[in-house]
Amino acid sequence: DMFVKGGDSAEIIECVNEIIDNARCLEDSCKAYEVLILALYSSGKKLMAVDQALTILRKLNYPFPSQVDRQLTTDAMETTREFMTGLSIDDLIYYPLMTDELSIQTMKIMDVSLMTFYKAAPALLPLLVSQMIALTSKRGCCNESATAFAAFAFLEMSLLGHFDNAYRIGMLATSMLHHTGASKLMAR
């Protein structure tokens, strides 16, 4: 992160694109995409950051529709809410940690994409958060899972006005931070 924030963004973007172009496999390019999304976002190229996030997520088998309507957003939120219903803090203590490296890299890319989507493609944000939570439900918890839970709590409150549920999910996110050992992310 310091490299992206402290360096010349045009130079960083050029170097990262070279890494992506010369990557031998998808896994080799994941960290480069993560840095590219951050560099584009921090240099004010938010729409380009969204495009790059969508590109790598598509390659990782997490495609997004070109058109998002209210029904698609509602369906994604409802599916995520179903997973969250009945999930307790005690459940999270025993929830397995994510161990698959490609899933962890996917979560990192989704995590750095959250703010970009929020600022430049807000209609995609609920879909991104829902995909992060679905990946958590299938592959286990990681540091970025807590961010997904917190983002879902924000969406529950801001889009739907479900304050009690948002508070409960926010508490789950806080517990998840402790479970994954990511307490340093508490301020996010």
Distance CA(157)–CA(159), nearest Å, equals 6
For residue 68, with 0-12 CB atoms within 10 Å meaning exposed, 13-18 middle and 19 or more buried, which class applies? middle
pLDDT at 21 over 90: no
User: Would you state the pLDDT for residue 170?
Assistant: 84
- The structure tokens listed for 145 are 């899972």
Q: What was the pLDDT predicted at 169?
A: 79
What b-and-e string marks burial along 30-46, b requiring 16 or more CB atoms within 10 Å of the CB?
bebbbbbbbbbbbbebb
pTM more than 0.75: yes
Mean pLDDT of 65-89: 87
pLDDT tens sequence across 161-179: 888 878 887 888 888 777 6
Of residues 5 and 42, the one with the higher pLDDT is 42
Provide the pLDDT confidence category of residue 4 given band limits of 50, 70 and 90. Answer: very low
The mean pLDDT of the chain is 86
- Confidence (pLDDT) at 187: 47
DSSP-based three-state secondary structure for 181: coil
Half-sphere exposure of 183 (CA within 13 A, CB side): 3
pLDDT digits (tens, 9 = 90+) for 144-156: 998 999 999 999 8
In the chain, the percentage of residues whose pLDDT exceeds 90 is 46
What confidence score (pLDDT) does residue 126 get?
96
